[in-house]
A and B are shown apart, each in its own frame.
Chain A
Amino acid sequence: MANGDGEVVGFDNVGLRYGTGKEVLSDVSFTLFPGSFYFLTGASGAGKTSLLKLLYLSQRPSRGQIRMFGTDVITLPRARLPGFRRRLGVVFQDFRLVPHLSAYDNVALPLRVAGVPEADLERPVTDMLDWVGLSHRSDARPATLSGGEQQRVAIARAVIGRPDMLLADEPTGNVDPEMAVKLLRLFEALNRLGTTVVVATHDLHLLKKVPASMIMRLDKGRLSDPTGVLRYPPKPQADRRTGDDRAEDLQE
């Protein structure tokens, strides 16, 4: 398996179970490379969200090894995990916006937590809200935003810090097709700047929109490899199979 050089994330025989239940992830092994774009697909309950939880360091695996940015995060002292989390951008399936903060403050939160001075916040936060089409709602609380608007705020919050790795759980589930494409363009733009992107989705049409992406598929907690990316790890941006081809592979 990968030794950690040139990888963003490495999973070796990872298993995850909650409590004493059966494993929701079994023998998961893969490597994510810098600057690559991955779709994580699978039916509902296949384990996509559990795998993302391991990736955004909200859960420790029951077994196996996980390396992130060249460090074994399983044995890493808890106090060092925040430094790793700040290198990640996460779009949660349920958005997880702070309910009593405005859209502006929710988007600014990762930068504030990272200690960015207030004077340096306004421009990027305003630009980001403008880009996701919510500049006119910057003072609105999440409860007054529609599902799609909340999702766009969640995405803006995830990408504002220009993370090394972006993890998105069904990020286009509540937006119209036009906005979905727009958001994917944002992810691609980040990806071109070197951010590794992992998008969990069961919407196979999305795969066509990002031709350079690679696919990981989960089935009952086990990872399969429809595009060969796990067996033949690509160089960054190397896999150029068309989205149409890969979507057809999956539908088969």
Chain B
Amino acid sequence: MKKPPVISRAINRGLAPFRGAPAQELVPQARLAGPMPWVIAIMVVLTVVATAAGLALTNLAGGARAELAGGATVQIIEAEPKERNRQAEAALDVLVEFPEVEGLRRVPPEEVAALLEPWLGTGFNGEAVPIPALIDLRFRGDATPDKLRRLRAALSDVAPDARIDAQSSWLRPVFSAIASLQWLALALVVLLSLTSAAAVFLAARSALGNNRETIEIVHLLGGTDQQIARVFQRSVGFDASLGAAAGLLLGMVAVLVLGQQFAQLDSGMVANGGLGWLDWLAVAMVPLAAVALAMATARLTVLFALRKML
């Protein structure tokens, strides 16, 4: 009888790493047939859109706040046109000398008429409907209540019908709404991350269940928890990368389309709502974070399951 083959070379019985293609083959790659890439893709699309929206709102609010924080409007509310004009000119003379005023301009009557056109229509008679004279001014720094009080005192003699309002005060509800939307976007990002983690956890557990027999065999052949977890982690990482790339692509398309839609509004409010390169970088981090989350979840899930075995 032929002599039985026995390896003469001493087998390395250390806990050497089990890597490469043979290790990968231990867990059949579901690729796009499994739920993981699709779950990750959907989560990444939603998270990319929510992140981009949150960042755009932050930029919009920040830009508007910076623009309006030092702004104030002086209205001369006088029905008689000549007196109104006189008070406006006198107010301009005082404001020019006011040390805390950085810049000012009288809003031309045509511009005021254009602003009121949606309500009053064209060709209205300025004498029949008295329109206040408007002066736009910008303080050095923010329009604080103290500055406004001193300005009122300075104008009270020369323009007794002047009314001064900080622009930030009448936009406060808008800022408040934007802040709410920012919190909403942040909450959406957090919730989507948690949902992604839960979905990945379930997908990893499902993959673990499908491959439990293989895991037990490798375990009984002397595979360490780290070896087995690494194989699963890489398998899930590969599936998650496929999904994350698809999700990023779709998410970016959605963000760009939405951005173009808002840009077409041609509104001063949304002009500051664009994304800078740091914002795009943050959006690009979303899929990376999703893959890292998927791999960490898979690793912990497998390690936790293995610890239940001897």
The residues of A with any CB-CB pair to B shorter than 8 Å are 56-60, 78-79, 81-83, 85-88, 90, 96-101, 105, 108-116, 118, 120, 124, 127-128, 130-131, 157, 159-162, 182, 185-186, 189-190, 193
**CA separation between A80 and B182, bound complex, in Å?**
51
B16 and A105 contact, CB distance less than 8 A:
no
CB distance from B308 to the nearest CB of A (A): 11
**CA separation between A118 and B25, bound complex, in Å?**
14
CB distance from B172 to the nearest CB of A (A): 61
Q: Is B173 an interface residue (CB 8 A)?
A: no
A115 and B5 contact, CB distance less than 8 A:
no
Contacting residues, chain A, for B224 (C-beta < 8 A): 79, 82
CB distance from A162 to the nearest CB of B (A): 5
B223 and A82 contact, CB distance less than 8 A:
yes
Contacting residues, chain A, for B20 (C-beta < 8 A): 118
Contacting residues, chain A, for B5 (C-beta < 8 A): 124, 127-128, 130-131
A101 and B4 contact, CB distance less than 8 A:
no
Q: Which of B167-214 contact A (CB under 8 A)?
A: 213-214
Q: Is B3 an interface residue (CB 8 A)?
A: yes
Instruction: Kindly identify which residue among B2, B6, B220 contacts A162, using a CB–CB cutoff of 8 Å.
Output: B6
Contacting residues, chain B, for A115 (C-beta < 8 A): 12, 14-18
Mark contacts of B210-226 with chain A using CB atoms, 8 A cut-off: 1 yes-contact digit, 0 otherwise.
00011011111111110
Q: Is B164 an interface residue (CB 8 A)?
A: no
B222 and A124 contact, CB distance less than 8 A:
no
B310 and A112 contact, CB distance less than 8 A:
no
**CA separation between A98 and B23, bound complex, in Å?**
12
Instruction: Kindly identify which residue among B1, B2, B15, B25 contacts A82, using a CB–CB cutoff of 8 Å.
Output: B15
**CA separation between A113 and B146, bound complex, in Å?**
76
CB distance from B203 to the nearest CB of A (A): 19
Q: Is B149 an interface residue (CB 8 A)?
A: no
B7 and A161 contact, CB distance less than 8 A:
yes
Q: Which of B212-253 contact A (CB under 8 A)?
A: 213-214, 216-225, 227
**CA separation between A22 and B9, bound complex, in Å?**
46
Main SS class of interface, A: helix
**CA separation between A189 and B22, bound complex, in Å?**
29
Main SS class of interface, B: loop
Q: Which residue of A lies closest to B27 (CB)?
A: A100
A78 and B310 contact, CB distance less than 8 A:
yes
A82 and B222 contact, CB distance less than 8 A:
yes
Instruction: Kindly identify which residue among B28, B220, B225, B309 contacts A100, using a CB–CB cutoff of 8 Å.
Output: B28
**CA separation between A97 and B216, bound complex, in Å?**
11
**CA separation between A24 and B128, bound complex, in Å?**
106
**CA separation between A104 and B239, bound complex, in Å?**
27
A86-B11, A108-B22 known; 10 other A-B pairs, CB under 8 Å?
A57-B310, A59-B310, A83-B15, A105-B25, A110-B222, A113-B221, A114-B13, A114-B14, A116-B11, A161-B11
Contacting residues, chain B, for A96 (C-beta < 8 A): 213, 216-217, 220
Query: What are the 7 closest A-B residue pairs judged by CB atoms, nearest first?
Result: A115-B16, A86-B222, A127-B5, A85-B222, A189-B4, A186-B4, A124-B7
B220 and A86 contact, CB distance less than 8 A:
no
A109 and B221 contact, CB distance less than 8 A:
yes
Contacting residues, chain B, for A162 (C-beta < 8 A): 6-7, 11
**CA separation between A113 and B222, bound complex, in Å?**
7
**CA separation between A83 and B20, bound complex, in Å?**
21
Q: Which residue of A lies closest to B17 (CB)?
A: A115
Q: Which residue of A lies closest to B9 (CB)?
A: A120
Instruction: Kindly identify which residue among B25, B216, B225, B310 contacts A101, using a CB–CB cutoff of 8 Å.
Output: B25
Asked whether A87 and B13 contact (CB < 8 A) given A99-B213, A131-B4, the answer is yes
**CA separation between A105 and B4, bound complex, in Å?**
20
Contacting residues, chain B, for A124 (C-beta < 8 A): 5, 7, 9
CB distance from B229 to the nearest CB of A (A): 13
Q: Is B26 an interface residue (CB 8 A)?
A: yes
B16 and A189 contact, CB distance less than 8 A:
no
CB distance from B302 to the nearest CB of A (A): 15
Instruction: Kindly identify which residue among B1, B12, B213 contacts A114, using a CB–CB cutoff of 8 Å.
Output: B12
B217 and A98 contact, CB distance less than 8 A:
yes
Q: Which residue of A lies closest to B28 (CB)?
A: A100
**CA separation between A86 and B197, bound complex, in Å?**
35
Q: Which residue of A lies closest to B228 (CB)?
A: A113
A189 and B11 contact, CB distance less than 8 A:
no
B18 and A113 contact, CB distance less than 8 A:
yes
Contacting residues, chain A, for B12 (C-beta < 8 A): 114-116
B13, B23, B25 interface centre (most CB from chain A within 10 Å): B13
Interface pairs (5), CB distance under 8 Å: A86-B11, A109-B221, A111-B11, A113-B221, A124-B7
**CA separation between A83 and B217, bound complex, in Å?**
15
A58 and B222 contact, CB distance less than 8 A:
no
